[in-house]
């Protein structure tokens, strides 16, 4: 990679070997069915390593895991064809590489990759999971799990907050279970005991204490605007990030990335941050991450829920 020189590209091939555990690099639990595979789609200016911690955890569960580099990556390890190439084409080609080894697929992504995951063409029966980037309007029979944060500074670029989108979809007949805690998400391995569509939003205590009247008012407003949006509605600013003084800071946009990726970004971008701030440039919450340094804390809460979601899909 261009900015993580110490992280080589590695391809693992696991066969039925008569080796006793523990052995570094082999799955610690083959809870996933043989042939179940997961694709990770990174975000704009990201890298294939952005969620390496989650990819590694899924591989330890027995999944085949693929993390292709998208054309907008900072790594720029290949030159895209002059005719151009799309994320959809890269994901489709990645699936073809596995051939008959992969029998069923799931997909997850962060930021722009969270846009790729829910909307990607084809079947992903293990599930589609988006971290910080759902735009709404997904019509699929595949399981869906969405994770977002009120502390995500990129929310400002969305017309509606995830709460508003889910409320509008529910009124239209597509219901999503909003988990109160990540520990509750897909906590039982029985597929029929879990929702087909689930979501969790990191929020400060104040966000859950608003009156039902306020919530109903906001939901109705979002529904009206989404309906008008089909005819060219005016964009509406989403909710401001919330934070309670007595609680830990909410995860920002880059909090969900692997700590080593964020550390590499720190070494690369920190010297440029004062100039970017002086020019009033938005730096994808990198400045917020520098204050909070919460990658590992966020991963400790997020990664187990991601694993449970795909393991439930694998057990279907």
CB 129 within 8 A of CB 217: no
Q: What pLDDT digit, counting tens, does each position of 263-310 carry?
A: 988 888 888 888 888 888 888 888 899 899 999 999 999 999 999 999
What is the separation of C-alpha 89 from the centre of its chain, rounded to a whole number of angstroms?
20
Q: What pLDDT digit, counting tens, does each position of 190-208 carry?
A: 878 899 999 999 998 754 4
Tokens of 46: 């990201």
CB 256 within 8 A of CB 131: yes
Q: Is 19 exposed, middle or buried (0-12, 13-18, 19+ CB in 10 A)?
A: exposed
Task: Please tell me the total number of residues recorded for the chain in this structure.
Answer: 316
pTM of the model: 0.77
Helix 295-314 and helix 52-60, axial crossing angle in degrees, nearest 10: 40
Q: Domain map of the chain by residue range? A: 36-314
CB 39 within 8 A of CB 118: no
């Amino acid at each position: 990679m261009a900015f993580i020189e110490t992280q080589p590209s590695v391809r693992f091939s696991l066969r039925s070997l008569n080796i006793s555990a523990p052995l570094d690099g082999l799955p610690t639990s083959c809870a996933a069915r043989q042939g179940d595979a997961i694709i990770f789609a990174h975000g704009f200016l990201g890298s294939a390593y952005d969620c390496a911690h989650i990819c590694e955890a899924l591989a330890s569960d027995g999944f085949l895991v693929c993390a292709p580099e998208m054309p907008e990556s900072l790594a720029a390890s290949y030159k895209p064809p002059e005719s151009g190439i799309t994320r959809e084409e890269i994901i489709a080609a990645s699936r073809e590489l596995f051939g008959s080894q992969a029998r069923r697929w799931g997909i997850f992504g962060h930021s722009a990759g969270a846009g790729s995951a829910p909307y990607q063409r084809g079947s992903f029966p293990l599930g589609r999971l988006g971290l910080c980037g759902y735009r709404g309007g997904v019509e699929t029979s595949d399981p869906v799990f969405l994770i977002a944060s009120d502390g995500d500074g990129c929310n400002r670029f969305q017309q509606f907050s995830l709460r508003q989108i889910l409320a509008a979809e529910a009124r239209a007949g597509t219901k999503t279970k909003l988990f109160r805690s990540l520990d509750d998400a897909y906590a039982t391995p029985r597929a029929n005991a879990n929702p087909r569509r689930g979501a969790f939003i990191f929020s400060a205590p104040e966000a859950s204490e608003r009156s039902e009247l306020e919530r109903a008012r906001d939901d109705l407003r979002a529904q009206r605007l989404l309906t008008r949006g089909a005819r060219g509605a005016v964009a509406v600013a989403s909710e401001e990030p919330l934070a309670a003084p007595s609680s830990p800071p909410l995860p920002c946009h880059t909090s969900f990335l692997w700590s080593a990726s964020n550390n590499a970004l720190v070494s690369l971008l920190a010297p440029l941050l004062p100039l970017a701030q002086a020019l009033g440039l938005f730096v994808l919450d990198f400045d917020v991450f520098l204050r909070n340094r919460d990658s590992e804390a966020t991963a400790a809460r997020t990664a187990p829920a991601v694993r449970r979601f795909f393991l439930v899909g694998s057990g279907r």
